[in-house]
C-alpha cells in the first residue's frame, strides 16, 4: 500500500542558510496531520527533538510516522566522507531508536555550495560535471556512507538527485547508479528536480526499476523553468519564482506516474514536497491542495 507523507521543506525548513524564519516543528507537524498526511521527514538536525523518546512522543500524539531524513555530504571531497558518515549515522540512530527502522537516510550532495552548479541549475552542461576520477570518489563516498549507516543502524540509504548539486541531469543520475552498490544505495526519485534538470520522470521510473526505493512528488512549472533558462536565474531565484509549483499545476505527468507505480507494485512512501523559501505563500494551503490533488489520483 502506498502511503503519503509531507516534509518540513514544504514549510520553508530547508538545509540552506537563507533569510527569513521558517515555522517551528510543532506547527509543521500539526499542519501535516491536519491536511491529511500520515508521515513526515525529519528536517534539519535540531529542527525536531533529537532525543528519540521525545521525537517519538511528538509523532505519536499526531499519529505520524517518520519516513526519512535529508543528509547532505560533499561527496566529491574524500576528506568529507568520514564526517558525513558520522552525521548520517547519528541521524539514522535517532530515527531507529525512536522506533522507525524502515525510515531512510536521504543522502545528497552539498547542494547550493558550488557556484557554477548553483548559477546554472536547470541548464547544466556536460563541462560543468564531475571528471572520471571525481565520479569514482563520489561513488565511493556514497557507498561508504550508506555502508556505515546500514552496518551501525540497519537503516537503508537513498540518494537524492538535486538541482544545484553534482547529480542533477539524467546522465548524472544514470552515472550515479552505475558508480554505486545496488545493495547499499537506492534512489529517491524526485519528480520536480528530475524534470527541471532536463529529464522525464516517468522514463527514469521505468529505467531504474529496482533501484528506486523512495519517492518525492514535486511538480515543475514549465513556464517558470523556461524563464529561468532564458533569464539565467540561479537555483534560489528559480525556487523563489515558483519553479516547484503546487502538484497538478506543472508539467509532471502524475497520473501516468501513479499508474506506473501501481504496475510496479510500489508499496513505500510518497513524500509530497513543494520547496518554499521562508515567507513564501501559505504552506498549509499548499499542503491541503497537494493532498487533495493526490486523492484525485486514487492515493
pLDDT in tens, 199-244: 999 999 999 999 999 999 999 999 999 999 999 999 999 998 999 9
Q: What percent of the chain has pLDDT over 90?
A: 88
Cell of 149: 549507516
- Mean pLDDT throughout 249-271? 97
Report whether pLDDT(170) > 90: yes
Residue-level pLDDT at 290: 96
Q: 68-118: per-residue pLDDT in tens?
A: 999 999 999 999 999 999 999 999 999 999 999 999 999 999 998 899 999
- Mean pLDDT throughout 40-59? 96
- pLDDT category at 45 given cuts 50, 70, 90 is very high
* CA 134 to each of CA 122, 174, 176: distance values in angstroms, whole numbers, following the listed order: 21, 15, 12
Residue-level pLDDT at 11: 87
Q: What percent of the chain has pLDDT over 70?
A: 95
Match 502511503 to its residue by C-alpha cell. 3
Report whether pLDDT(187) > 80: yes
In the predicted model, what is the mean pLDDT of the chain? Answer: 94
Match 527502522 to its residue by C-alpha cell. 101
Residue-level pLDDT at 16: 44
Q: 53-63: per-residue pLDDT in tens?
A: 999 999 999 99
More confident residue, 68 or 9: 68
Report whether pLDDT(1) > 90: no
- pLDDT category at 280 given cuts 50, 70, 90 is low
Query: Which segment of 12-16, 115-119, 176-180, 209-213 scores lowest on mean pLDDT?
Result: 12-16
- pLDDT category at 14 given cuts 50, 70, 90 is low
Q: Using CA atoms, how far apart are residues 291 and 299, in angstroms rounded to an integer?
A: 9
Q: 20 Cβ partners below 8 Å, 6+ apart? A: 12, 277, 278, 279
- Mean pLDDT throughout 21-33? 88
Write down all domains in the chain, each with its CATH number in brackets.
3-296 (3.20.20.150)
HSE-CB for 124 with a 13 A CA cutoff: 31
Residue-level pLDDT at 139: 98
Q: Using CA atoms, how far apart are residues 89 and 11, in angstroms rounded to an integer?
A: 26
DSSP 102-151: T-EEEEE--TT-SHHHHHTTTS--GGGS--HHHHHHHHHHHHHHHHHHHH
Amino acid at each position: 500500500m502506498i502511503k503519503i507523507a509531507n516534509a518540513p521543506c514544504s514549510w520553508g525548513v530547508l538545509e540552506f542558510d537563507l533569510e527569513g524564519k521558517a515555522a517551528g516543528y510543532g506547527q509543521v507537524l500539526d499542519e501535516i496531520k491536519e491536511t491529511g498526511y500520515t508521515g513526515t521527514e525529519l528536517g534539519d538536525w535540531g529542527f525536531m527533538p533529537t532525543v528519540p523518546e521525545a521525537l517519538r512522543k511528538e509523532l505519536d500524539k499526531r499519529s505520524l510516522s517518520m519516513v526519512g531524513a535529508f543528509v547532505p555530504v560533499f561527496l566529491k571531497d574524500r576528506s568529507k566522507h568520514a564526517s558525513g558518515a558520522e552525521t548520517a549515522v547519528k541521524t539514522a540512530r535517532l530515527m531507529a531508536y525512536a522506533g522507525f527502522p524502515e525510515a531512510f537516510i536521504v543522502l545528497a550532495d552539498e547542494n547550493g555550495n558550488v557556484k557554477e552548479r548553483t548559477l546554472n541549475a536547470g541548464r547544466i552542461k556536460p563541462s560543468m560535471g564531475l571528471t572520471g576520477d571525481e565520479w569514482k570518489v563520489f561513488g565511493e563516498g556514497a557507498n561508504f556512507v550508506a555502508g556505515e549507516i546500514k552496518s551501525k543502524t540497519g537503516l537503508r540509504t537513498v540518494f537524492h538527485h538535486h538541482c544545484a548539486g553534482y547529480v542533477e541531469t539524467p546522465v548524472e543520475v544514470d552515472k550515479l547508479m552505475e558508480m554505486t552498490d545496488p545493495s547499499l544505495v537506492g534512489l529517491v526519485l524526485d519528480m520536480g528536480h528530475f524534470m527541471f534538470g532536463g529529464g522525464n520522470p516517468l522514463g527514469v521510473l521505468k529505467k531504474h526499476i529496482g533501484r528506486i526505493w523512495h519517492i518525492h512528488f514535486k511538480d515543475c512549472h514549465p513556464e517558470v523553468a523556461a524563464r529561468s533558462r532564458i533569464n539565467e536565474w540561479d537555483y534560489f531565484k528559480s525556487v523563489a519564482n515558483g519553479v516547484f509549483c503546487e502538484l497538478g499545476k506543472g508539467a509532471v505527468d502524475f497520473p501516468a506516474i501513479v499508474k506506473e507505480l501501481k504496475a510496479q507494485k510500489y508499496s513505500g512512501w510518497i513524500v509530497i514536497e513543494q520547496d518554499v523559501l521562508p515567507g513564501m505563500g501559505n504552506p498549509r494551503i499548499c499542503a491541503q491542495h497537494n493532498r487533495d490533488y493526490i486523492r484525485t489520483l486514487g492515493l
